[in-house]
Amino acid sequence: MPNPYISGTGFFLPPRVVTNDDLSKYMDTTDEWIQERTGIKERCYVDAGVGSSDLAIPATEQALKAADLQVGDIDFIIFATSTPDFYAPGSGCLLQDKMGFNEIGALDIRVQCSGFLYGLSIAEQYIKTGVFENILLIGAEVQSTAMDLTDEGRDTAVIFGDGAGTAIISATEEDRGILSTHMHSEGKYLKELWLESPASNAGHPRITSEDLDKGKQYLKMNGREVFRHAVTRFPEVINECLEKNNLTTDDIDLLIPHQANLRITQMVQKRLGLKDDQIFSNIHKYGNTTAATIPIALSEAVNAGKISNGDIVVFAAFGSGFTWASAAIKW
- Identify the CA nearest to 233 among candidates 296, 186, 180, 288: 186
Beta-ladder partners of 44: 17
State the DSSP string of 141-161: E--GGG---SGGGHHHHTTB-
Find the helix or strand (DSSP H, E) in which 127 lies: helix 115-128
Q: Is 258 a catalytic residue?
A: yes
Rounded-to-integer distance, Cα 54 and Cα 190, Å: 29
Rounded-to-integer distance, Cα 52 and Cα 40, Å: 22
Q: Is 184 a catalytic residue?
A: no
In order of 37, 48, 253, the CA distances from 273 in angstroms are: 22, 43, 13
Give exposure, 79-115, as e/b (b: 16+ Cβ within 10 Å): bbbbbbbeeeebbbbbbbeebebeeeebbbbebbbbb
Beta-ladder partners of 234: none
In contact, 191 and 175? CB cutoff 8 Å: no
The number of residues in the chain equals 331
Rounded-to-integer distance, Cα 69 and Cα 74, Å: 8
End-to-end C-alpha distance for the chain, whole angstroms: 18
Rounded-to-integer distance, Cα 123 and Cα 115, Å: 12
Q: Is 288 a catalytic residue?
A: yes
Active-site hit among 3, 113, 134, 261: 113
Give catalytic residue positions. Answer: 113, 258, 288
